[in-house]
Amino acid sequence: MHSTNYVIRFVLIMTCVVALVLAAMATLLQPVHKANEALYNKRGIIQAVETKLPKPVGEMTDAEVADVFDSKVEQYVINTDGERLSEEEVIEAGYPGGKAENIDMEKEKKKDPSDRLLPVFKYQHEGSDYFIFSVRGNGLWDAIWGNIALESNFNDVAGATFDHKSETPGLGAEIKDNPNFRDQFIGKEIFSEDGKFVSITVRKGGAKDPDHEVDGISGATITADGVTAMLENGLENYMSYIKENRSQKVKN
């Protein structure tokens, strides 16, 4: 049996050693972690326009993803009134990078809707523009998020990707894992015939309206409803911007 004095000394030394080693390791690796995270997000963003990319995102190396993102994507930040913000304004709002890719959607979701900052990614391909918007919502267990790409008429969907924090594999996680789920969004329309915003609904039991609905995933109704709500609320944030550009197009 060791004395109490010895126990306390042992524990103190052990704690200090462990704390130092782990803190040093975390600090040293932090730049790598940040770079990885940024690249992972870029992958998600350009995956929304996967059909327009030179090859599927899954087959791209990190360098190729960075290259496509840097050379073909124009990014800017808007507010909910659809006004474009300058880099200084974004930095002032608490994002030192000042770019759309730095926007933390979770932080923005907690803000009052009128104060939100929204990232826009414009992808150029063969003379046409595609606008990628980021959305975030709640699944069954935790956060879900995604990127939805609209064609330059701001109505037709060019593609969508989804990701999640901890949905069930084989059920809710299919929104990310199953390419057939996200492919369904291609060609859908977010406005009805008479110009009303209807978003896209993930329908349990199979899509009924071919223009505005996609098939749900059996066993994952709550996640699917989460996707529906996320798309509606997320696109609603961008609505001033979308409507403004849409009316310009109609005038032209």
Partner 1 sequence: MAEETQVKDEPKEKKEFFGRKERRLITDPLTDNNPITVQVLGICSALAVTTLLYPSIIMAVAVIFVMIFSNLTTSLLRKYIPKQVRMIVQLVIIASLVTMVELSLKALNFAVYKQLSVFIGLIITNCIIMGRLEAFALANKPWQSILDGLGNAVGYGAILIIVAFFRELFGKGSLFAGSPIEFKIIGPTQDFLINTSESVMFGWYTNNNLMVLSVAAMFILAILIWVQRSYNPELVDVS
Closest CB to partner 1 among residues 6, 86: 6
**DSSP single-letter state for residue 209:** S
Q: Which of 12, 16, 36, 87 binds partner 1 (CB under 8 A)?
A: 36
Q: Which of residues 115-134 bind partner 1 (CB under 8 A)?
A: none
CA triple 169-175-179, angle to 5 deg:
105
Residue 91 contacts partner 1 per CB under 8 A: no
CA–CA dist 186, 48 (Å, integer): 10
- In DSSP terms, 132 is beta-bridged to 121, 149
Residue 2 contacts partner 1 per CB under 8 A: yes
CA–CA dist 209, 157 (Å, integer): 15
Residue pointed to by tokens 């406005």? 191
Region from 115-123, 160-168, 189-197, 229-237 binding partner 1, contact rule CB under 8 A:
160-168
* Alpha-carbon dihedral sign for residues 21, 22, 23, 28: positive
Smallest distance, Å, CB 44 to partner 1?
A: 11
Q: Which of 204, 52, 194, 192 minimizes the C-alpha distance to 132?
A: 52
Region from 47-55, 166-174, 232-240, 243-251 binding partner 1, contact rule CB under 8 A:
166-174
Q: Which of 12, 16, 22, 55 binds partner 1 (CB under 8 A)?
A: 22
Region from 33-41, 120-128, 144-152, 201-209 binding partner 1, contact rule CB under 8 A:
33-41
Contact 65, 43 (CB under 8 A): yes
Q: Is 186 exposed, middle or buried (0-12, 13-18, 19+ CB in 10 A)?
A: middle
Smallest distance, Å, CB 110 to partner 1?
A: 22
Number of residues that bind partner 1 (CB under 8 A): 26
Residue 56 contacts partner 1 per CB under 8 A: no
Smallest distance, Å, CB 105 to partner 1?
A: 16
Which string of b and e fits 112-130 if b means at least 16 CB within 10 Å? eeeebbbbbbebeeeeeeb
Write each residue from 168 to 207 as x if it is in contact with partner 1 (CB under 8 A), else as -, in one continuous string: xxxx------------------------------------
What are the residues binding partner 1 (CB under 8 A)? 1-2, 6-7, 10-11, 14-15, 18, 21-22, 25-26, 29, 32-33, 36-37, 39-40, 165-166, 168-171
